[in-house]
Structures are given as structure tokens and as C-alpha cells.
Structure 1
Amino acid sequence: MAKKLKIVSLVTSALVTICAVAVAATTSATSPFKVDRELFKLYPSLIVYEKTKAGFTEPETCAGCHEDKYKEWNGSLHSMAFVDPVYQGELNKAVKAVGHDISRQCEGCHSAAGVVTGEVKGPGLSGLSAVAKAGVSCDICHSISSLNHDKTPTKEPENGSFVIKPGEDAREGAVLIKRGPIKPQDGCGEGFHECRQTEFHVKADLCASCHQVYHYEKHFPIEATYNEWKHSPYAQKDIHCQDCHMVATETFVKAADTMQKPERKDYRHYFNGANYLLYYLGSQSALKAGDKQQSERLTAQYDMAVKRLQKAAELEIEPVYRKGALAEVRVRVKNMRAGHNLPTSLTNIRQMWLEVIARDDKGEVVLSTGAVGADGSLAEDARLFNSDGMGTDMHFSVDPWIITAFSRHETIPPKGYRDVYYGITAPKGSSRITIEARLRYRQADQKIAEALLKAVPKDIDLARDYGLAKVPVLPVVDMVSLKREVPATK
């Protein structure tokens, strides 16, 4: 009997081992994120190109009939999406690290026309057409015929999940077709193109195609701006990306405060966002090229970006007492007007933090945290609102082609807040403590920005093109500040 039990035990153990190996093999060989390679031929870019004899149109051609909209777009972040030196530096690093087939994921959104036509083959600007270098131009957005969000590996918007078709073939030749939210009137396009109405051009779903960046293999959302919006009060109130980023600052503030859509006359093709560093670089480039008007246009966009940042958040300061003595200070950071998290986009690169200084009634500093050094370095004790990325090895990384998860994710949701507590002890004899708090923002850590700008392709010369002999200390925007005096005892 004992011998039979031993045999049964051995057989059972062997079967368990075989099953475990089989499950492990199946798990490692499969993924919940299935890629339709027949549909997504440009994978990991998820753009679908319905090719016809119709080509893409330069934005300067569009300006012939839509001069006002062209001027609004020219100098926008969309217009500089591909020529942006920070992006080009990142792209150059990506190609060297993982190859062009994978980096095409980035190129698809930064120059859709250049990718689908095969013109863009890597980093750099040399030899490219005006259409390719125009980035997210008029003809890109207005040639999008449908969205493929439900067909992506995650069944969510990601990595350029749209269908682009600039026109159709007809007996007499190619017919250009441009799409937008307004019902076409007779004569629309004036014989140059036909007009068709869409619903998604006024919805966040259109923006979601490129403002959701997922890891090319693991499909982790490195950028999840659309998801942040979708799960917010703004989505519930039907306030979309266009209602804040395609209007003037005052209109954006009104929309965020009242949750009411702007009027039709209020919309502009500004596409203004928080990347004021790119506006600054673009303005310097225009000056170097002798284009004063373009430099002024970019400076206006820079000012708009700063003003929007300064309208986005609010602060509260509250003392915390224990046994009648001041023990802590609570600083609350509130996301008042951003329809996505603060910060958003590449949250592992963006830096938003608190600088707090407290002084006693003699003016002596009793608390100081979050200062920026003369070289642009941020103090290690700074309380940051951003993310830390990590790869499959669970080690820290800032490179988007490596990041497959966040080890820390501390951004602030729309209409939400985060509290930070600072321990503080009032000096003996002090009666009052004055606390100053500033919420500060910049595009990236100083060393990361330096590394990216130093990695630009050889055909981009920072001194020649931007007047930069070296990478400057990154500008920091004070989003909001608050000062409060509190009793040292209670």
C-alpha cells in the first residue's frame, strides 16, 4: 500500500511539474495585447494609411484661403512637433538604442506624412520636404478620416491610432478631401478640395490618438493624458481638449471654472500647452533666421503658455499643532483648471515641485526646501509631483523605450489635490512663523535637458540654428505662490 502511495505521489509531482512548465511557457509566449499586423502595417506606430493618388498639402498652400488659421498654427507646438530639437535629441538616442523600426512609433505622431510616405527614415531634417518637417500640420488633422481606438492592442487610444486619407481616386484624377466639424456649404474648398463633416474633430478622441503614448511592446501608458481627462469631471461635463487648448487664456479659465463650452467664435488654432521651452527655442531660431514676425508670434505663444500654467493651480497653507506648539505645516496643492493631471504627458520627465521657506519673527530661516541651484540642479529634498519610471528589471529609467511601469506616480488629478506636510519647530521665544510656498514648473531636470540637446543629430547645430553656445539653465515658471503668517503656539 505504501509503495502504491509513493508511486501515485511521484506521478502527481511529475504532472504538477509538467503543468507548471507548460503554464510558464504559455505565459511567457503570450500577451493580452494582440497586435493586428495586417491592419497596423507601420507598427509600433498605429497609423493606418489609406493610400491613393492624392498627396499631402503644405500648410503654406492652406494659408492661401485660411490665412488667419495658418498664422495661429504657425508657431504652435503642432507646427514644431518634428523640428523640435529636444524631440530630435530623444529620437536620435532612441534610434541608437533600439533601432528605427521601434522609434517609428514616435515619428508617426511627430510627422505622420513623413512616416506614411516613407520619407522620414530616422532623426534629422536634411533632405526632407516641407510637408514632412511641418509636423502636425493642417493637412494631417484634416485628412484623418476615422479613428481606430477600439482596434489597438489595448483597445484604447495609443500611438497614433487613426486612419489618414488625404483624398480619393476619381476618373479625372485624385480628389483632395478635407474633414472638419462644420457642415460644408456650397463651394466649400473652392475647387481645390472637397469638404466632409466629422463628429470627432471637436472631441478629445481625436487628440487621444497621439496624446496617449504606450510602450511599444508592453503597452504600458507612459503618457496617459486622454485617460486622465476621460476619468475626470471635465469629461463628465463635456469639456474637451479643444475647449481649453484652442481658445485664448481668458476663455480657457472660464471654461474650467464654469464647465461651459466656449462659443464657436472663440476657437483658434493655437494648440497652446505648457511646453514653453519649445516656444523659447523656436523664437530664438526665428531671430537667427531674421524672421522677426515669427519670433514675435512664438513669444506670444510663450507668454500664453506661462499664463496658462499660472492659472492652473492654487495653494493652501495650514499649521498643525501638537501639545500647543507648531509641529508641522500642511501645504495643499490643488489642480483647479487643468482637464488632465498636473503635470501630464511625460510625467517622469516633467518637474513640478514645491519650494517652501519659513522664517521666525526675527527673519531667521527655520525651514528651507525645494531650492534650485545656480547650475539648474534641484535640491534632493524637493517635494516633486511627477513619476519615476522603471523597466522590466524593476530598475529606474527615464528612457521611454525602456519604461514599462511607474515605481512612483504622484501627479494631481483634475479638480483634485495633494497634501504635503513639513515638520517645523519654532525657535524658543518666537511668537510667529511666516511661511512662503511656491509651486514651480519646468520641462525637465537640467541634466536630462542637457543630455537631450547634446544628442541632436549632426544636421542640427544649436549655435547656428538657435544661437546657443551651450545649453542654458532651463527657465522655471512660478505657477502660484502663497504667504501666510501663523502663531508659533496655540
Structure 2
Amino acid sequence: MRKSTLLIFLLSFSVINIYSQKAGNELLGAFKYDDFKTPEYCGASCHADFYQQWKQAMMSQAFTHHWDEIEYFELAVPHAEKDPVVAEVKAGCNGCHSPLAFAAGDIPPKRPEFKTRANEGVSCDVCHSISGFKGDVPYNFNYILNPGNTKYGTRGTGESPEHQIKKNDFLATAEFCGTCHNEKSPYGVWVKSTHLEWKEGPYSKQGVQCQTCHMPPAEGYSAAMGHKYPDAKQHLFHGAHDPGKVQGTIELRIHPDLNEAEPGETVKFTVALFNAKTGHKFPSGSVEDRIVWMHVEAVDAAGKVYHLKVDKKGFPGEEFTIASDDLAYQDMSIAKNDPNFKGVRRDGDVPVGDRIFRMAYFDPQGRMTIQQWNTKSLGTDYRIGPRETKLETLTFNLPNNVAPGKMKVTATLYYQRLVPSVARFLKVPEEEYETIKVNEHTTYVTVLP
């Protein structure tokens, strides 16, 4: 028994040690909060407009955002304190969500209500103190942080009474973003890979960087006393949390194989879904949380509504891409001290039979999880890649009592940032899992009398 316990401990320690070495943990406690200027200082002194943009972006809310707070304090920290394999996430989450707290060794930081400097999230001085990254691949906060009187920028021009300015091309690269938008779990699984998806896609080959879309250029000033530039990078960082960014991302078109049909006849509908906007897959980032699904309804001339279920394609793991009543996320029981927890509905409020565009995450027991740190394997990646078109078919056998006349058939793609069943279980505010309509398209079939 003692040998088995020792073996388990050594294996767990080995996993933790490997993760720590790769996660840039040499930054942990390497600095003090006072080594960094506050965002308010930057905004009040010179960069008021950029400060206001940042303040409304998720960068400023990386630690204080409702879901991030709940996920960290109610799931990650309790889990890390009970399971040595994932112990590192107690500190590691802060490497990207509150870099100042991580660099100051303030682990775990106090909750946002205490208003410590951890609340600054990804602040101005963090990004403009990064000079590069260590290793061959940017991930798990392996950025190089050099706080001080020299601030890095992509121009290296201008003068400031507050600090020195040094040109650093790294800040204009996708690799800069990849230091936090790529992540490996303690089990060595890529649980976030937005930068890698971009690198493998068509836009990287054309020189389109993350900043092209998420920090679009516009005429303006980089500082109050600075020069006016035709391409001042806006600090908007709009993405998965912006309805305006999500809406229209995927184009939908639905068409029937018959324009006219009689009751009892079968009509086959094809839906083409084209990723027209994103330089990475859709959805991306926190894929374990996101849910994107296609819903198709037919309405006959009398107003009766029919739900059309997607045809199965038969690929391995497809069951996780078609909505069901199955339960999942049982590993939340670790943090909740409830060994009898049966899970919550895997697909939230998605109607049974709808197609879901996701990549499932599985815990060490092979159960689907939303806890990326507890992810040991991944399911089939059924997301929509950049410039990729997916075709879905739906076979509809017209009921004998269907009303004659024009039948309207609509395909709609929906998006939620968090699976509602998980959100409700953890008491996440409803606005955090609002349903956003990505796009829709309608076609018609004439039902003959």
C-alpha cells in the first residue's frame, strides 16, 4: 500500500513539475504590485482614450468578470487544493487573468469585492512591459515581463514625460497574444489554442494578425501630446463577449431538394455554414464553456411548427455534436464536496436533435467537463474553421395532415458563452449566458393539396 501511495505521489509530482516548468512560473512572486503603474495612472496622464477603450474590454475584467470569478474561486481553487495533479492552477490561472497578482505572488488573490490590484486584470503596464516569450511556442503565460521606466510599443516614436519608449515588434505579432490564448492543461492537452488555430489557417499566411481584427487601426492619437497617426491601434479587444463581433460570423444558406411536395413525401434540406469572419475556429478560446448550435424549424401555411432534426453523419464522437438529454460535468462534484452529484444537462437548453459545433473536453474518468484544468483528452473537433464550409442535411417527411400552401423553413445558428445548465447550477448571472443569434436563412417549399 505504501509503495502504491508513493508511486501515485511521484507521478502526480512529475505532472505538476512538468506543467510548472512550461508555464512560465519563474514569474511567480518575482515582482511587487508597486513595480507596475495602475491603468488609472496611464489614463489620467496621457492615454485617456485608450484607457476608456480598455476599461470596457474584457482585458480589464479578466479577474473581476462574474463567470471568471465563480470558475476560479468556486471550482478551480477548491479542486486544486484537493487534487495534486491540478494543484498548479491555483496560481496558474492568474498568470493570464491577473498577471499583477501572479507576478506579486498574491496567490490566491482576494475576491474582487476586496478591490485589490488583482482587479486590474490584464492592465496597460502588463502588456507594455512584455518584451517576448520563452521557448518555441507561446502558451501558458510564458511571456517575458520587464516592468520599469521603459514601455514597449510597436512604433518606438514620440516622447513622454512619464517614461521611456522602446520599439518592440513582438507586440504586433500573433505570438504576443498566444502567450495567453494558447493553454495546455496539467495533463498536457491543448485546452485553448486560438493562436495555433490561426497559425494553421489561411490568414496567417497572408500576414493578417490577431490585432488586425481585435485591435483595428483608425486615425487618432496614441497619447494626448503625441502625434496623430492614420493607423492608431484601437484598444477594443472585442471578441467572444461582444454580440456585434459574434453576429454574422457564420453565413447560413438553406435550400430544399424539391420546390413542391405532397403530404407524405420526403424533402431533404441542405444547410451550408460558411465561416466568413474569424481567423481561427468558431467557437474558439474557452471552447469547454461555449455552445454553438443550429436549429431548423418548418412552419406550414396553417402556422403549425415542426422541428427538423439534423441527419447523422456517422463520424466517431458524433454523439457529442447532436443535442441530447444526457447529463455531464460530474467532476464539478470535487469542488462542491458532493460525491453523489449526477451532473447537469450536457447541452443546456439546446433542443434535442440540433447540431452542435463543439469540441468536447473529457476529464480523467472520460466524462465531459467544462473544467479545462481537469481535461485529460479531447473529443472530435467539430467546430467551423476559418473559411471552412460545413454542410448539414435534414430529412423531413411531410406529415399527412400538413397544411397545403407555402411552408417556411428557417435555419438559425445560435451562440452562448456558457452552457446555461452549468451557469444556473453555479448561480452565474443570466446575462453571462444570453442567447445570441449568429445568423439565419429561410427557404420555402410549396405543399400541394
TM bin, normalised by shorter chain, reads 0.7 to 0.9
Determine helix, strand or coil for the equivalent of 1:437.
Answer: strand
Matched, 1:189 2:170: no
Indicate the SS of the match to 2:372.
Answer: coil
State the match for 1:447 in structure 2. 421
Amino acid at match of 1:435: V
- Give 3-state SS (helix, strand or coil) of 1:397's partner: coil
The question of whether the paired residues in 1 share the 8 Å contact of 2:28 and 2:102 is answered with no
- AA aligned to 2:352 is E
Distance 1:86 1:47, change over 3 A: farther
Query: For residue 265 of structure 1, what is the aligned residue in structure 2?
Result: 231
1:61-460, aligned counterparts within 5 Å? 61-63=41-43, 64-92=45-73, 93-99=75-81, 101-122=88-109, 124-125=111-112, 127=114, 129-130=116-117, 132-150=118-136, 156-167=137-148, 176-185=149-158, 188-190=159-161, 192-216=162-186, 218-247=187-216, 264-265=230-231, 267-275=233-241, 305-320=242-257, 326-368=266-308, 377-428=349-400, 430=404, 432-453=406-427
2:308–2:396 CA contact under 8 A, matched in 1: no
The farther-off stretch of 405-414 and 95-104 is 95-104
C-alpha separation in 1, matches of 2:293 and 2:57 = 26
> Are the aligned partners of 2:101 and 2:109 in contact in 1 as well (CA < 8 Å)?
no
1: CA distance, partners of 2:126 / 2:40: 14
Q: Percent identity?
A: 24
| Count of residue pairs the alignment pairs up | 381
* Code of the aligned partner of 1:357: E
Q: Judging changes above 3 Å, is the alpha-carbon distance between structure 1 residues 353 and 399 closer, same or farther for their aligned structure 2 residues?
A: same
TM-score by length of 1: 0.70
- Do the aligned partners of 2:29 and 2:105 also contact (CA within 8 Å) in 1? no
Contact 1:319 1:326 in 2 (8 A): no
Alignment check: 8 A CA contact 2:178 2:195 kept? yes
Structure 1: gaps spanning 5 or more residues: 1-24, 151-155, 168-175, 252-262, 276-304, 455-467
Unmatched runs of 5 consecutive residues or more in structure 2: 1-7, 82-86, 220-228, 310-322, 325-347
Measure, in 1, the Cα distance between the counterparts of 2:405 and 2:296. 20
Q: Distance in 1 between matches of 2:380 and 2:415?
A: 19
The residue identity in structure 2 corresponding to 1:189 is S
Flag the 1:410–1:341 CA change in 2: closer, same or farther, 3 A. Answer: same
Q: Find the aligned partners of 2:27 and 2:258 in 1 and give their Cα distance.
A: 60
Q: Secondary structure at the match of 1:184?
A: coil
* CA-CA distance at 1:128 after TM superposition: 5.4
SS state of the match for residue 479, structure 1?
strand
Q: Distance in 2 between matches of 1:61 and 1:107?
A: 22
TM-score by length of 2: 0.76
Higher Rg: 1
- Aligned-residue CA RMSD in angstroms? 3.3
Cα distance in 1 for residues equivalent to 2:303 and 2:234: 48
Q: Tell me how far apart the structure 2 counterparts of residues 378 and 148 of structure 1 sit (CA, whole Å).
A: 42
Q: Which amino acid is the alignment partner of residue 135 of structure 1? A: G
Aligned to 1:60: 40
**CA spacing shift, 1:142–1:35, aligned 2, 3 Å:** same
CA deviation digits over 1:216-260, x for unaligned, max 9? 2x2211111111111111111111111101128x99xxxxxxxxx
Question: Which amino acid is the alignment partner of residue 355 of structure 1?
Answer: H
SS in 2 for 1:270: coil
Q: Is the 8 A contact 1:50 1:164 kept in 2?
A: no
Answer whether contact 2:287 2:358 (CA < 8 A) is retained. yes
